[in-house]
Amino acid sequence: MPKKIVILGGGTAGWIAANLFIRKWSAEQALVSLIESPDIGIIGVGEGSTPFLERFFKMIDVVDEQWMPRCNATYKLSIRFSGWSPGSGIEDYSHPFLSQVDHFTENAFVKNCRTRRLGVDVHTYPDDFFINGVLARDGKGPRASENFPFIIGYGYHFDAGLLGQYLAEVGVSRGVTHLQRKIVDVERHEDGDIAALVSDGGERIEADVFVDCTGFASLLMQKSLGVKFESFKSNLFNDSAVVMPTPASDTPPAETVSFAMSNGWCWKIPLTNRYGNGYVYSSDFISADDAETELRTFLGTLDSDEPARHLKMNVGQLEKHWEKNCLALGLSQGFIEPLEATALLLVQIAVEVFIAKYEQGDFSAKHRDEYNEKIHERFERVRDYIVAHYKLNTRGDSEYWKANSDNMELSDSLRHILDVWYRRGDLTAEVQRQDIESHFTSLSWHCLLSGYGAYPPLAPDQPNIGDLYKDNNVSKFLAGCALNFDLHRQNLAKLQEKVT
Ligand SMILES: Cc1cc2nc3c(=O)[nH]c(=O)nc-3n(C[C@H](O)[C@H](O)[C@H](O)COP(=O)(O)OP(=O)(O)OC[C@H]3O[C@@H](n4cnc5c(N)ncnc54)[C@H](O)[C@@H]3O)c2cc1C
């Protein structure tokens, strides 16, 4: 086991890593320290998660009642994409997180999608086939009455700054050493490994494993070790964001909404005390000033004094995520833009795979290479899913959207998925063949392709096969299940009650 791990950076990535390392290796007496500079601060966005974050809290033995009220958090059941495919007549669709109970209805969805690909008019709106789509639509939360016999998958919305502070408290209480220092120099051993970090006060901090969580600065990996950055610009054009909050609503929805804008998209994330909003756009197509004006017009805040924050994003990934005795996590290792809120999921996976590989072979080149290959591949396959959103849009109302749908810079993996879909093949088998089910499931791909209406025109003389959706009684079944759930705001109120 490593004797001493030093994490540089105290954003969400740094604190997730610190908590996972101390949990895993404290029994072996490993020392875990986290250094951050309050002068530099954190990025302060990144407020939506996938269900993987629930797994993180389980791993560190923290329950919703403990952390959610402290971080103004709400439950997230799906992401709704609004205005991305008007050309197919689809106003919006949701990509719900999957749950155990969906096993009863997923076949109906897949069958309907296949039938619709044959040109027959059957129902393929993803929201109606999955419990979380129904709950989100009805304003209900994921916490069922005690006797509900299925596990419901859910993610969260949260305040990024408060989550960092909460995780810092937990980490420190379990033995993480927290240092506030600005690092200005990095000392290397003769073999190229990092020997020590040097603070602006001249203090040397040594370790055997260093973890770069310095955000887009990538201080250790890119600046010190010279690891190359591979840009995703060829098919993910967005490189900027402008963000601003708006007041909370009494009934916060249990989903993130992603609204298509003239040159990108805007997230709307409901917290208990505010909405987080941000317009993610490409600076090649719209200026920062125009993007801010468009965002304010959209939010109805043109006359508000509330300042907007402008951010630049490095979209891409490092060529290697583990180099020498240094690991990169979070924005310092790469970023695939926030459309599916996958960044923290990738941090968790990277830490878990690192722990497994390190335990198998310390710093052996074999295990490091295997790690790099696995994490690199995961970034690429998540990238495919995000690229598909842009490729399949049917807006065509700006050069930006046209450039996205015309773009042919697609990976082989994505080409095969689209090819199987349009040839009316078995998409589930293709996802299994490529072994990419753990990145985005076949059902997620079905939701996306249906959500964009990626279907052939309807056949003129349709056989009367009935509506498979109705025949399978999906709506009745799900409506029955959904009765067991409280409204989302009741779920949140119950969390608050348990805070003493
Ligand atoms: C517009 C936008 C929207 C996003 N939305 C989502 C989302 O919905 N869901 C999601 O999962 N992710 C999202 N992300 C990504 C998410 O913000 C990050 O993955 C997450 O916040 C973790 O960031 P980080 O810890 O890597 O970096 P940061 O938060 O930037 O932290 C960097 C840390 O490094 C420290 N540091 C830097 N240099 C030094 C130095 N020289 N000395 C000492 N300390 C130093 C800083 O003090 C800070 O503590 C979004 C990102 C962007 C840009």
Question: pTM score, two decimals?
Answer: 0.96
376 contacts 317 by C-beta, under 8 angstroms? yes
Q: Pull the structure tokens for residue 134.
A: 């129904």
How remote is the CA of residue 343 from the centroid of ligand 1, in Å? 10
**What is the torsion angle, in degrees rounded to the nearest 10, for the CA atoms of residue 452, residue 455, residue 456 and residue 461?**
-120
Residues 6+ apart with CB under 8 A from 200: 181, 182, 183, 184
**What is the torsion angle, in degrees rounded to the nearest 10, for the CA atoms of residue 326, residue 327, residue 328 and residue 330?**
-140
Pocket test for ligand 1, best of 19, 20, 35, 36 (most atoms within 8 A of CB): 36
451 contacts 81 by C-beta, under 8 angstroms? yes
Residues 6+ apart with CB under 8 A from 55: 348
pLDDT (0 to 100) of residue 361: 79
The answer to whether the Cα torsion of 434, 348, 331, 337 is positive or negative is positive
Ligand 1, atom 33: closest residue by C-alpha: 9
Residues 6+ apart with CB under 8 A from 17: 7, 211, 213, 329, 347, 351
How remote is the CA of residue 257 from the centroid of ligand 1, in Å? 22
Closest by CA position to 13, among listed 215, 228, 216, 208: 215
Residues 6+ apart with CB under 8 A from 365: none
69 contacts 499 by C-beta, under 8 angstroms? yes
Question: What whole-number distance in Å separates Cα of residue 19 and Cα of residue 10?
Answer: 12
Question: What whole-number distance in Å separates Cα of residue 104 and Cα of residue 113?
Answer: 16
Question: Which of the residues are catalytic?
Answer: 76
Alpha helices in 76-158 (DSSP H): 106-117, 131-137
Closest by CA position to 267, among listed 42, 72, 93, 81: 81
pLDDT (0 to 100) of residue 123: 87
Neighbours of 360 (CB within 10 A): 12
Neighbours of 469 (CB within 10 A): 21
Question: What whole-number distance in Å separates Cα of residue 414 and Cα of residue 232?
Answer: 15
How remote is the CA of residue 344 from the centroid of ligand 1, in Å? 10
pLDDT digits (tens, 9 = 90+) for 228-250: 999 999 999 999 999 999 999 98
How remote is the CA of residue 36 from the centroid of ligand 1, in Å? 12
240 contacts 311 by C-beta, under 8 angstroms? yes
Ligand 1, atom 6: closest residue by C-alpha: 46
> What's the angle, vertex CA 439, arms to CA 438 and CA 442, rounded to 5?
75
Neighbours of 233 (CB within 10 A): 15
Pocket of ligand 1 (CB under 6 A): 8-14, 35-37, 40-43, 45-49, 160, 182-183, 213-215, 217, 219, 241, 278, 280, 311, 313, 330-332, 338, 341, 343-344
Query: DSSP states of 292-355 as a string?
Result: HHHHHHHHT-TT--PPPEEEE---EEES-SEETTEEE-GGGTEE--STT--HHHHHHHHHHHHH
pLDDT (0 to 100) of residue 471: 55
Residue 32 burial by CB count (10 A; 0-12/13-18/19+): exposed, middle or buried? buried
What three-state secondary structure class fits 146?
coil
In ligand 1, which atom is closest to the CA atom of 267? 8
Ligand 1, atom 50: closest residue by C-alpha: 46
Which single residue is written with the structure tokens 């009642």? 65
Question: What whole-number distance in Å separates Cα of residue 457 and Cα of residue 459?
Answer: 6
Query: DSSP states of 172-212 as a string?
Result: HHTT-EEEE--EEEEEE-TTS-EEEEEETT--EEE-SEEEE
Ligand 1, atom 18: closest residue by C-alpha: 46
Question: What whole-number distance in Å separates Cα of residue 328 and Cα of residue 219?
Answer: 10
Residues 6+ apart with CB under 8 A from 483: none
Helix 442-451 / helix 427-434 crossing angle, nearest 10 deg: 130
Question: What whole-number distance in Å separates Cα of residue 58 and Cα of residue 323?
Answer: 30
Pocket test for ligand 1, best of 12, 76, 220 (most atoms within 8 A of CB): 12
How remote is the CA of residue 338 from the centroid of ligand 1, in Å? 12
Q: pLDDT per position in the chain (500 positions), as tens?
A: 788 999 999 999 999 999 999 999 887 788 999 999 999 999 999 999 999 999 999 999 999 999 999 999 999 999 999 999 999 999 999 999 999 999 889 999 999 999 999 888 888 999 999 999 999 999 999 998 778 888 899 999 999 999 999 999 999 999 999 999 999 999 999 999 999 999 999 999 999 999 999 999 999 999 999 999 999 999 999 999 999 999 999 889 999 999 999 999 999 999 999 999 999 999 999 999 999 999 999 999 999 999 999 999 999 999 999 999 999 999 999 999 999 999 999 999 999 999 999 888 777 899 999 999 999 999 999 999 999 999 999 999 999 999 999 999 999 999 999 999 999 999 999 999 999 998 899 999 999 999 999 998 887 776 656 555 555 677 788 888 888 899 999 999 999 886 65
